[in-house]
């Protein structure tokens, strides 16, 4: 065996013995593909042609079948069946035009591909609209005693690195914040586990920290709203003559209410803008300190802050809204103040 190339009698031995073990799973894979008469079927990582050779037998349908495998030794055995078109090539660079097939099948090949994502993209590319992909791989180790024995054999004869490459799947997430969520989904839905839990632990810690900061922010906002209400109650008391004069000059309760709430909204908006400027300055300071003084470590970001437009708009809306909320009761009290009573009070 050289790389992924089986040589000598190995392909013949595989075709003679291994296919008998795989036959039940092969038939299940073929049935799940739902082949119909006239379908163009591509068998990726076809090996010695077990899946390709059983499609018509299992389904009873007449299909145009093509097999492709990177291993020339395996194909030399597969070519004994002249009714199937055989190609040597990589699953990560399928040499077929877009939409060339109605069905793509792949049995126990995905775990061997050097770039699994590229292979899946090519399988999807060569499918015609409405086409179907059927593939199978081994389940979790604790549910596969045969696979456990196989991995143990790889460790003994090829080493730990080869066994790890054979028994693991590499997944890349676009958002690092989804690591913990994705890891939990793997355990709950697929009964899989992460080989290295460092990323999961780090993401969980970030999630907890973010949750704590959000709770602290809500507490601060609530306290601020209470302080705003208190300050406006004091202002209403101090400005009772001014408010009474407004009423005496013909302003209605709604007019006074809107005046006080408008002042509250203006104060909240100005406070929000000042807080935003202060927050951006602090963020730049933290990023500068992080870049110059913190050592490099896994998942260290270029910036610890992301001021997206909806965050800025939400912050201003929140500051304005809570200021109006805090000023509502004082504004309501001011609007109900009788003019004569307000003007006669000292």
Query: In this structure, is residue 281 part of a structural domain?
Result: yes
Please name the residues in contact with 114: beta carbons below 8 A apart, sequence gap of 6 or more: 92
Q: Which residue, among 41, 53, 48, has the nearest Cα to 71 in the 3D structure?
A: 48
C-alpha to C-alpha distance for 86 and 105, rounded to whole angstroms:
14
**DSSP string of 270-288, one letter each residue:** HHHHHHHHHHHHHHHHHHH
Query: In this structure, is residue 73 part of a structural domain?
Result: yes
pLDDT range class, residue 68, cuts 50, 70, 90: very high
- 170-193 pLDDT per residue, tens: 666 666 666 667 777 767 766 666
Q: Which residue, among 7, 116, 119, 21, has the nearest Cα to 71 in the 3D structure?
A: 7
Query: In this structure, is residue 228 part of a structural domain?
Result: yes
Query: In this structure, is residue 162 part of a structural domain?
Result: no
Query: In this structure, is residue 174 part of a structural domain?
Result: no
- Does residue 154 or residue 292 have the better pLDDT? 292
What would the two tokens of residue 299 be? 């998942």
Alpha-carbon separation of residue 65 from 47, 126, 241, 272, 329 (angstroms): 14, 14, 93, 66, 77
From 137, 162, 181, the end of a domain falls on 137
CATH of the domain at 112: 3.40.50.150
Describe the strand order of the beta sheet including 85-88 as a list of residue ranges: 85-88, 64-69, 40-44, 101-107, 127-136
Q: What is the pLDDT of residue 1?
A: 40
C-alpha to C-alpha distance for 290 and 304, rounded to whole angstroms:
9
Kindly report the pTM of this predicted structure: 0.45
From 107, 137, 167, the end of a domain falls on 137
From 115, 137, 159, the end of a domain falls on 137
For tokens 């793997």, what's the residue? 186
Q: Is 24 exposed, middle or buried (0-12, 13-18, 19+ CB in 10 A)?
A: exposed
Query: In this structure, is residue 45 part of a structural domain?
Result: yes
pLDDT range class, residue 337, cuts 50, 70, 90: confident
- 235-275 pLDDT per residue, tens: 767 777 777 777 777 788 888 888 888 888 898 899 889 98
Query: In this structure, is residue 65 part of a structural domain?
Result: yes
Residues 290-329 as b/e (b if ≥16 CB within 10 A, e otherwise) read: eeeeeeeeeeeeeeeeeeeeeeeeebbeebbbbbbbbbbe
Q: Is 234 exposed, middle or buried (0-12, 13-18, 19+ CB in 10 A)?
A: exposed
Q: Which of 14-28, 53-67, 137-151, 154-168 holds the top average pLDDT?
A: 53-67
- 295-331 pLDDT per residue, tens: 776 556 778 888 888 888 888 888 888 888 877 887 7
C-alpha to C-alpha distance for 276 and 269, rounded to whole angstroms:
10
Q: Which domain holds residue 253?
A: 215-344
C-alpha to C-alpha distance for 136 and 146, rounded to whole angstroms:
16
What is the number of structural domains in the chain? 2
For tokens 């073929």, what's the residue? 30
Q: What is the pLDDT of residue 46?
A: 92
Helix/strand/coil for 108: coil
* DSSP one-letter code for 187: H
């Amino acid at each position: 065996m050289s790389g992924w190339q089986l040589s000598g009698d190995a392909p013949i031995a595989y075709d003679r013995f291994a296919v008998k073990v795989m036959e039940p799973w092969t038939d299940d894979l073929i049935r799940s593909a739902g082949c119909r008469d006239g379908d163009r079927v591509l068998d990726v990582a076809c090996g010695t042609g077990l899946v390709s050779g059983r499609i018509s037998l299992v389904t009873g349908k007449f299909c145009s079948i093509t097999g492709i495998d990177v291993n020339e030794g395996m194909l030399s055995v597969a070519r004994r069946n002249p009714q199937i078109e055989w190609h040597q090539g990589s699953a990560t660079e399928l040499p077929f035009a877009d939409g060339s097939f109605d069905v793509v099948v792949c049995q126990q090949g995905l775990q061997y591909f050097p770039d699994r994502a590229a292979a899946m993209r090519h399988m999807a590319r060569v499918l015609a609209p409405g086409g179907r992909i059927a593939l199978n791989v081994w389940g979790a180790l604790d549910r596969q005693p045969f696979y456990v024995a196989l991995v143990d054999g790889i460790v003994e004869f090829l080493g730990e690195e080869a066994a790890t490459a054979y028994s693991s799947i590499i997944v890349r997430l676009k958002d690092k914040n989804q690591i913990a969520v994705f890891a939990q989904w793997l355990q709950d839905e697929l009964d899989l586990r992460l080989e290295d839990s460092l990323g999961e632990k780090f993401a969980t810690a970030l999630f907890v920290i973010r949750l704590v900061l959000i709770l602290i922010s809500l507490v601060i906002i609530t306290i601020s709203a209470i302080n705003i209400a208190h300050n406006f109650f004091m202002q209403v008391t101090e400005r009772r003559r001014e408010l009474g004069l407004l009423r005496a000059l013909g302003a209605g309760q709604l007019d006074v209410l809107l005046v006080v709430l408008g002042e509250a909204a203006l104060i909240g908006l100005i406070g929000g803008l000042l807080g935003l400027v202060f927050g951006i300055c602090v963020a730049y300071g933290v990023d500068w300190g992080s870049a110059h003084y913190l050592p490099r470590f896994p998942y260290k970001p270029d910036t610890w802050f992301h001021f997206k437009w909806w965050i800025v708009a939400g912050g201003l809306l929140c500051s304005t809204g809570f200021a109006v909320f805090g000023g509502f009761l004082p504004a309501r009290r001011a609007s109900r103040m009788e003019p004569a009573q307000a003007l006669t009070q000292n």
